[in-house]
């Protein structure tokens, strides 16, 4: 960890506890800041609160006192990424022109290790994991952080110059950066997302763009040549540009030609040898190849991972085969776009399991992607809406059940050998389950019971 003095003696408010807030508060205390923690929840009995108070950190919970900034003469705010900028304390801090950062900025300022930063609307976790696994297979010393793995500033404290930190970052995290400058930065793609938080797509894109903002000529910006929004955002970067494309043959960068994965003028491996299913995953794979080749990784390491990596848990994850039926868990597909991509991944007949929290939207955009769906099992609040679209798409076998476990059993009864049984809900899980992970784990358990 770098020895930094910029926080010494400064009055810093950590807004929102959770994992990132706890890590940030402890780090700032170590850096000799005067730390105050505020959380809207009443958390006096929380073990984390007791730990902070034992360090001499002031913790205020149960409300956001409007006089907090003045009372403690706050000079900087480190906020939980999920707290919106319309929060009254954040609004005050903006009026006072106080720096407002997320713990990702802290991680960058103390890190001795170079950082690879990955963002985008879809595919971040799969791509981040691929990069980590390939670098590890190449004998490098990667650490993983951000939305996947541990809190970034925790990882940065332990990292040395021999390590490289791979961070999966959201627009919420990036919006709270000032000096953050990854050695390699990647934006996978841009779709409409989180507009309730950012307000407009332009503001969402500007938040993503911060990943490129401070790069210089010694850095690398990895750019999706198939996404006009990503190309537009990359113009701000002064770094060397490395491109990837699933559509174009490139003279430089990562691309597909003659059913092979290529980088520059090297044919790395046949795409038929790749275990990870789905056309959309080719984009993630090429992005990962572009990143790791920028680190000088050997092709053997890439081939080793791509011939064995079958997916991240809950993201088009192969679960098992039961009497010739292949089960896939795509519980992370909480929107129509993600489910559309999952459906495109298979050419064999699909039994789709879908449904969940009703956010008020319809599912007509899903209709063109249902051509390989032979049967549908629905659950949750949105069941009637998804069933309507399925009927209009000509699907005759439709069954509604109470939950995901029943859906797995029912899908098996409706299936034949060589069918794919796919949980890809197109909805959030909160009407029935605390998280999409819980929903996916219940599905996996049901598959194991079937076997």
Mark which of 255, 282, 306 sits at the end of a domain.
306
Reduced to 3 states (helix: H, G, I; strand: E, B; else coil), residue 106 is helix
Residue 261 lies in a domain: yes
Same domain, 360 and 244: no
Backbone angles phi, psi at 384, to 5 degrees: -60, -40
Give the C-alpha separation, 441 to 451, whole Å. Answer: 15
- Does residue 313 or residue 393 have the better pLDDT? 393
Same domain, 351 and 287: no
Which residues, at least 6 apart from 118, have a Cβ–Cβ distance to it below 8 Å? Answer: 124, 127, 128, 131, 166, 167, 168, 169, 186, 188, 287, 291
Same domain, 336 and 446: yes
Q: Give the helix/strand (H/E) hosting 289.
A: helix 279-294
Q: Give the pLDDT of residue 49.
A: 87
Reduced to 3 states (helix: H, G, I; strand: E, B; else coil), residue 190 is coil
Domain hosting residue 389, numbered range:
317-450
Residue 2 lies in a domain: no
Q: Give the pLDDT of residue 337.
A: 86
Q: Which of 55-59, 205-209, 301-305, 307-311 has the lowest mean pLDDT?
A: 307-311
Same domain, 136 and 268: yes
Q: Give the pLDDT of residue 406.
A: 98
Which residues, at least 6 apart from 165, have a Cβ–Cβ distance to it below 8 Å? Answer: 107, 111, 113, 114, 115, 116, 142, 143, 144, 145, 152, 155, 156, 159
Same domain, 299 and 321: no
Question: Is 56 labelled as part of a ligand binding site?
Answer: no
Same domain, 259 and 132: yes
Mark which of 101, 121, 144 sits at the end of a domain.
101
Same domain, 148 and 121: yes
350 pLDDT band, cuts 50/70/90, is very high
**115's tokens:** 């950082």
Same domain, 262 and 134: yes
Question: Is 120 labelled as part of a ligand binding site?
Answer: yes
Residue 312 lies in a domain: no
Same domain, 74 and 136: no
**Closest listed residue to residue 78, CA positions, set 156, 173, 215, 180:** 173
Question: Is 62 labelled as part of a ligand binding site?
Answer: no
Label the pairing between strands 58-61 and 34-39: parallel
pLDDT at 356 over 70: yes
CATH number, residue 209:
3.40.1190.10
Using the CB atoms, write b or e for 74-106: b if 16+ within 10 Å: bbbbbbbbebebebebbebbeeeebebbbbbbb
Mark which of 48, 72, 101 sits at the end of a domain.
101
CATH number, residue 402:
3.90.190.20
Same domain, 83 and 177: no
Question: Is 125 labelled as part of a ligand binding site?
Answer: yes
Tell me the chain's radius of gyration from C-alpha atoms: 23
Residue 78 lies in a domain: yes
Q: Region 325-330: what's the mean pLDDT?
A: 96
Q: Which of 34-48, 106-120, 275-289 has the lowest mean pLDDT?
A: 34-48
193 pLDDT band, cuts 50/70/90, is low
Question: Is 126 labelled as part of a ligand binding site?
Answer: yes
Same domain, 241 and 94: no
Q: What is the domain count for the chain?
A: 3
Q: Are 324 and 418 in contact (CB under 8 A)?
A: yes
pLDDT at 54 over 80: yes
43 pLDDT band, cuts 50/70/90, is confident
Mean pLDDT estimate for the chain: 95
Give the C-alpha separation, 172 to 80, whole Å. Answer: 9
The partner residues of 397 in beta bridges, in order of sequence, read: 375
Q: Give the pLDDT of residue 402.
A: 98
User: What is the Cβ-side half-sphere exposure of residue 29, based on CA atoms within 13 angstroms?
Assistant: 19
CATH number, residue 41:
3.40.50.720
């Amino acid at each position: 960890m770098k020895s930094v003095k910029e926080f010494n003696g400064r009055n810093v408010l950590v807004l929102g506890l959770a994992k990132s807030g706890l890590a940030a508060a402890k780090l700032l205390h170590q850096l000799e800041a005067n730390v105050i923690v505020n959380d809207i929840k009443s958390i006096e009995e929380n073990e984390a609160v007791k730990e902070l108070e034992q360090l001499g950190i002031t913790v205020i919970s149960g409300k956001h006192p409007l006089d907090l900034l003045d009372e403690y003469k706050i000079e900087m705010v480190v906020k939980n990424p999920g707290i919106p900028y319309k929060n009254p304390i954040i609004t005050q801090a903006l009026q006072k022109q106080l720096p407002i950062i997320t713990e990702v900025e802290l991680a960058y300022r103390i890190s001795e290790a170079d950082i690879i930063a990955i963002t985008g609307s879809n595919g971040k976790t799969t791509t981040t994991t691929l990069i980590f696994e390939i670098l590890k297979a190449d004998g490098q010393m990667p650490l993983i952080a951000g939305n996947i793995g541990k809190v970034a500033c925790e990882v940065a404290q332990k990292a040395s110059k021999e390590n490289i930190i791979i961070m999966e970052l959201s627009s919420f995290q990036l919006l709270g950066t000032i000096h953050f400058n990854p050695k390699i930065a990647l934006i996978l793609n841009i779709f409409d997302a989180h507009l309730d938080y950012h307000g407009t797509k332009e503001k969402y894109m500007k938040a993503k763009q911060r990943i490129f903002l401070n790069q210089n000529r010694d850095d690398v910006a990895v750019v999706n040549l198939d996404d006009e929004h990503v190309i537009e955002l990359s113009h701000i970067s002064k770094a060397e540009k490395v491109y990837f494309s699933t559509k174009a043959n490139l003279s430089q960068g990562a691309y597909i030609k003659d059913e092979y994965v290529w980088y520059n003028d090297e044919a790395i491996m046949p795409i038929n040898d790749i275990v990870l299913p789905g056309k959309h995953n080719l984009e993630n794979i090429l992005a990962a190849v572009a990143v790791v080749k920028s680190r000088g990784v050997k092709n053997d390491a890439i081939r080793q991972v791509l011939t064995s990596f079958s997916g991240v848990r809950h993201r088009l994850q192969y679960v098992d085969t039961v009497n010739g039926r292949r089960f896939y868990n795509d519980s992370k597909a909480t929107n129509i776009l993600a489910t559309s991509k999952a459906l495109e991944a298979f050419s064999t007949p699909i039994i789709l399991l879908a449904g969940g929290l009703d956010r008020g939207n319809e599912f007509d955009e899903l209709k063109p992607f249902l051509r390989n769906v032979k049967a549908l099992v629905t659950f949750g609040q949105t069941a009637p809406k998804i069933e309507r679209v399925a009927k209009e798409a000509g699907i005759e076998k439709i069954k509604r059940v109470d939950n995901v476990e029943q859906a797995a059993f029912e899908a098996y009864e409706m299936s034949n050998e060589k069918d794919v049984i796919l949980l890809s809900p197109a909805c959030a899980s909160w009407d029935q389950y605390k998280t999409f992970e819980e929903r996916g784990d219940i599905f996996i358990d049901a598959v194991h019971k079937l076997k």
